Amino acid sequence: MYTRSFSNRRPKKYLFQSHQKSAGSLGFGRRRPGGRPGERIDPKRFVNKALTAERDENFISKHKFQDFKIDQRLIRTVMAKGYNAPTPIQDQIIPHIIAGFDVVGIADTGTGKTAAFLLPLINKILQNPREQILIVAPTRELAIQIDQDLKFFAKGMRVFSVCCVGGMSIGRQISELRYNYSLIIGTPGRLKDLMERRMINLSRFTTVVLDEADRMLDMGFINDTRFLMNEMSKEHQTLFFSATLSNDIERVIKEFTKNPIRISVKTRDTSKNVEQDIIRIEQGKTKLDILNNLLNQAEFNKVLIFGRTKYGVEKLSRMLAGKGFKVESIHGNKSHPQRQKALGMFKDNRVQVLVATDVAARGLDIADVSHVINYDIPATYDDYIHRIGRTGRWNKRGIAITFVEG
């Protein structure tokens, strides 16, 4: 029996070790969607002890929120949400955004990046109501999350936005674009579609945010993004955010920004708050057996489970429901309203478990996820980083477990 302790508690009996292959894979393949083979990842990379809480608290911000030259209403809203001091990315990048510089922010997931650009941009609109801002995100889930955060921070300030993403009625978005707005938040494909329909004129936009630019590159959105950027006002401010920094990303930074201020608070690939370990499947057991054992333990109270295929995720969700667990699923075969309903139920703690494909791995800010379980090994290590980034957010501790067969 392989056991280990997640903290100072007694070891749990839910880790099993074997060199036999499990019969419980539920048809999840080891190839990327579309048939492309995934990379071979050493399971040792899935084991990483979280740093102690004392070390987590070593960061001391140079600024208080009150020090930033932003509207006092924004500061009160931030404080009311319980953010007592800026996170490292907020502390270092907000002054440069306020000063009007192009910026490049490289930060781990879950570090308060969205507030780092939304607060100064809302302030920009409050100072000049004619200001128009474009925020581009790789997935509709992330775009919707940003729009929701915007509405929270700008509540009562008459700052209006339109969220333009695929999977939702384009007719409704066209209707909303006819009204007064200061921000458009959307995905590259839908934004390009609306521009080609002459519903969006970016020549009047003087600020653009490219969020999770590495993901946009990975998903093949670079040409659509380039189309958007070419339509922007010649003089504009670009805020560029990425979780990773590669040669390809460097080329995109050079293309889309002018003498940017670079802020990197990324100290490691994975969050220091996430305890990471593996479960090797014991001979005679299946992954489903082990998962059932885990979910019946009280500490597994808000669990995000990742699988590789839409079919496998839906099948696993139904099997868990059959065992009496409160569970929802999100994947590409579900409509946008179905996915939003499932996410809402998970966020509101009306279900214990959310089973998802990698569509949910990036950008979603779901509070207090206790565990991320990689039921299937991700296709790439980058996918792994973003999966487990759904726990251990905002300096809270989280646990990530990866099932390993063979």
Out of 3-17, 257-271, 347-361, pick the least confident.
3-17
Per-residue pLDDT reduced to its tens digit, 23-56: 333 433 333 434 344 566 776 666 665 433 333 3
Residue 241, classed as helix, strand or coil, is strand
Q: Which residue has the higher pLDDT, 50 or 132?
A: 132
Is 0.75 topped by the overall pTM?
no
Query: Mean pLDDT throughout 118-126?
Result: 97
Q: Which residue has the higher pLDDT, 309 or 393?
A: 309
Out of 145-149, 196-200, 223-227, 284-288, pick the least confident.
284-288
Residue 387 has pLDDT above 50, yes or no: yes
Residue 272 has pLDDT above 80, yes or no: no
CA distance 112 to 133: 20
Which domains occur in the chain, in start order? 33-50+273-404 (3.40.50.300), 59-264 (3.40.50.300)
At residue 335, the pLDDT reads 84
Three-class DSSP labels, the chain: CCCCCCCCCCCCCCCCCCCCCCCCCCCCCCECHHHCECCCCCHHHHCECCCCHHHHCCCCCCCCHHHCCCCHHHHHHHHHCCCCCCCHHHHHHHHHHHCCCCEEEECCCCCCHHHHHHHHHHHHHHHCCCCCEEEECCCHHHHHHHHHHHHHHCCCCCCCEEEECCCCCHHHHHHHCCCCCCEEEECHHHHHHHHHCCCCCHHHCCEEEECCHHHHHHCCCHHHHHHHHHCCCCCCEEEEEECCCCHHHHHHHHHHCCCCEEEECCCCCCCCCEEEEEEECCCCCCHHHHHHHHHCCCCCCCEEEECCCHHHHHHHHHHHHHCCCCEEEECCCCCHHHHHHHHHHHHCCCCCEEEECHHHCCCCCCCCCCEEEECCCCCCHHHHHHHHCCCCCCCCCEEEEEEECC
What's the token pair of residue 214? 């590495």
Per-residue pLDDT reduced to its tens digit, 352-372: 999 999 876 556 778 889 999
Residue 279 has pLDDT above 50, yes or no: yes
| Per-residue pLDDT band at 194 (split at 50, 70, 90) | very high
